[in-house]
Amino acid sequence: MLTGTLFALAAGLMWGLVFVGPLMLPEYPATLQSFGRYLAFGLIALPLGWLDRARLSQLTRADWIEALKLAAVGNVVYYLFLASAIQRAGGPLPTMIIGTLPVVIAVSANLRGSAAGGAPIAWARLLPSLLLIGAGIGLVNHVEITQLRADPQADLARYAWGAALALGAVVCWTWYPLRNADWLRAHPHRSPRSWATAQGLATLPLAAVGYAGTWAWMVVQGNAFAMPFGPRPGDFIGLMFAIGLFASWLGTLCWNEASQRLPTALAGQLIVFETLSALAYAFVLRRSWPHAETLAGVALLIAGVSWALRSKAAPAPSELTSELHP
């Protein structure tokens, strides 16, 4: 349990880096950042795949198809939504919306467990955590909107669109860890490192096609954006490979290690480490200390996740009854 939690913490610290790219490269389209990041991830996975070719050769055609699905939804589409959201709404609000993932994943995992014969969390016990999380997001949202209204050039519609895109990212990353954990639990003899590398290799052709398609679309539209690597090629390439190595491959490796050691519902709640890391990185880039209202919102988010964890740990009356009367 402790080892799995430490792996989840390490994954969260590295996944927080994915929120940095859109803030450091605001002039780069979200599509280019998404495909660029995973093109770098795929290229990093090539030598790793060669070193691990013996284990990768044991994967079946069905395994590779599953890796491709996970790569498409959990990598490319998720980051496309997230990068677009951050560029439109800034860092804090999308980060807080992504921060609802622990409870969303926990609820989804338990609903799926219920269908398989398990017991879901009682809604009455889950409601306090949902209210705390909602209040936390509301506080952070209030701070960001207040700052926007003070800026005469601010675009509230763009901000709202960014929040909607962040919800799309939540949908993608609710599906990914549940599906990924299913595969890992069904294949306990497989190496989490090899599975992370397999997903990187599956991502490479998707990212290559997407990057080429984005370039072609810019040419057709007569876009003056300097392709292939934009106006700051050194910054772009360096950042994409840094995120590809630490957030994509190493972060996925740590998450796979955690997923094999922890229950899915518990592991899902530990994604809160990513939220806290991303918020810290965002305010470091802003070179400002978060408002007291923002810190209160973060505290409410953590409290909500902790409450959900207690709700999962405590047996419901129906569960006690079923144990006493099988």
- Dig out the tokens for 184 from the structure: 């890992």
CA distances to 22, 230, 239 from 234, rounded to whole Å, are 16, 9, 8
How far apart, in whole angstroms, are the C-alpha atoms of residue 151 and residue 145? Answer: 10
Supply the DSSP string of 62-107, one letter for each residue: HHHHHHHHHIIIIIIIHHHHHHHHHHHH-SHHHHHHHTTHHHHHHH
Higher pLDDT, 112 or 55: 55
Q: 275 burial class (0-12, 13-18, 19+ CB within 10 angstroms)?
A: buried
User: What is the residue whose two structure tokens read 């876009």?
Assistant: 223
The pLDDT score that the predictor gives to residue 67 is 93
CA distances to 191, 210, 323 from 71, rounded to whole Å, are 17, 13, 40
Highest mean pLDDT pick, 135-139, 200-204, 263-267: 200-204
Highest mean pLDDT pick, 15-24, 31-40, 313-322: 31-40
Query: Percentage of residues in the chain with pLDDT exceeding 90?
Result: 29
Lowest mean pLDDT among 33-42, 109-118, 182-191: 109-118
The pLDDT score that the predictor gives to residue 314 is 47
Closest to 109 in 3D by CA, of 317, 322, 312, 314: 312
Lowest mean pLDDT among 10-14, 111-115, 153-157, 170-174: 111-115
How far apart, in whole angstroms, are the C-alpha atoms of residue 78 and residue 246? Answer: 17
Asked if residue 321 has pLDDT above 50, the reply is: no
How far apart, in whole angstroms, are the C-alpha atoms of residue 300 and residue 132? Answer: 5
How far apart, in whole angstroms, are the C-alpha atoms of residue 165 and residue 172? Answer: 11
pTM recorded for the entire structure: 0.78
Mean of per-residue pLDDT scores for the chain: 82
The pLDDT score that the predictor gives to residue 113 is 62
- Residues, the chain: 326
Q: pLDDT band for 136, please (50, 70, 90 cuts).
A: confident
Closest to 137 in 3D by CA, of 303, 308, 297: 297
Lowest mean pLDDT among 100-104, 158-162, 182-186, 237-241: 100-104
Lowest mean pLDDT among 103-117, 203-217, 299-313: 103-117
The pLDDT score that the predictor gives to residue 311 is 60
Higher pLDDT, 237 or 251: 237
The pLDDT score that the predictor gives to residue 121 is 59
